[in-house]
Amino acid sequence: MSTTLTRNPPHGIPSSRKRATTRRAAGSLALSIALFAGLLACAGARAETFPSKPITLVIQYPVGGPSDILARLIAAPLQARLGQPVIVDARAGAGGTIGTDHVARAKPDGHSLLLSASGPLAISPWLFKKLPYDPLRDLVPVVQVASVPMVLLVNAANPARDAKAFLESLKSNPGKYSYGSSGNGTPQHLAGALLESLAGVKALHVPYRGQAPMATDLMAGQVDFAIDSMVAALPNLAIGRLRPLAVTGSQRSALLPEVPTLQEAGVPGYEAYAWYGIMAPAATPQPVLQTLNRTIREVLDLPEVRAQIARTGSIPVHDTPQAFGAFIRSEHAKWGDIVKRTGVMLN
Domains and CATH numbers, the chain: 55-148+273-342 (3.40.190.150), 149-247 (3.40.190.10)
According to the model, what pLDDT value does residue 342 have?
76
Q: How many percent of the chain have pLDDT more than 90? A: 64
pLDDT of 24 > 80? The answer is no
Q: Look up the pTM and report it.
A: 0.73
What does the alpha-carbon distance between residue 74 and residue 68 come to, in Å, rounded to a whole number? 10
Q: How confident is the model at residue 185 (pLDDT cuts 50, 70, 90)?
A: confident
pLDDT: is 236 or 37 the higher one? Answer: 236
pLDDT at 21 over 60: no
Average pLDDT of the chain, as a whole number? 87
Q: Do the beta carbons of residue 259 and residue 252 sit within 8 Å?
A: yes
Least confident of 16-20, 243-247, 250-254, 326-330: 16-20
pLDDT score recorded for residue 293: 98
Q: Where residue 175 falls among pLDDT bands split at 50, 70, 90?
A: very high
pLDDT of residue 299: 97
Choice among 33-37, 180-184, 217-221, 301-305 with the minimum mean pLDDT: 33-37
Whether residue 142 has pLDDT greater than 70:
yes
Q: Which residues contact 217 (CB under 8 A, 6 or more apart)?
A: 180, 206, 208, 223
Q: If you average pLDDT over residues 277-302, what whole number do you get?
A: 97
Instruction: Give the whole-angstrom CA distance, residue 48 versus residue 39.
Output: 14
Tally of residues, the chain: 347
On whether the CB atoms of residues 312 and 211 are closer than 8 A, the answer is: no
User: Residue 171: is its pLDDT beyond 60?
Assistant: yes
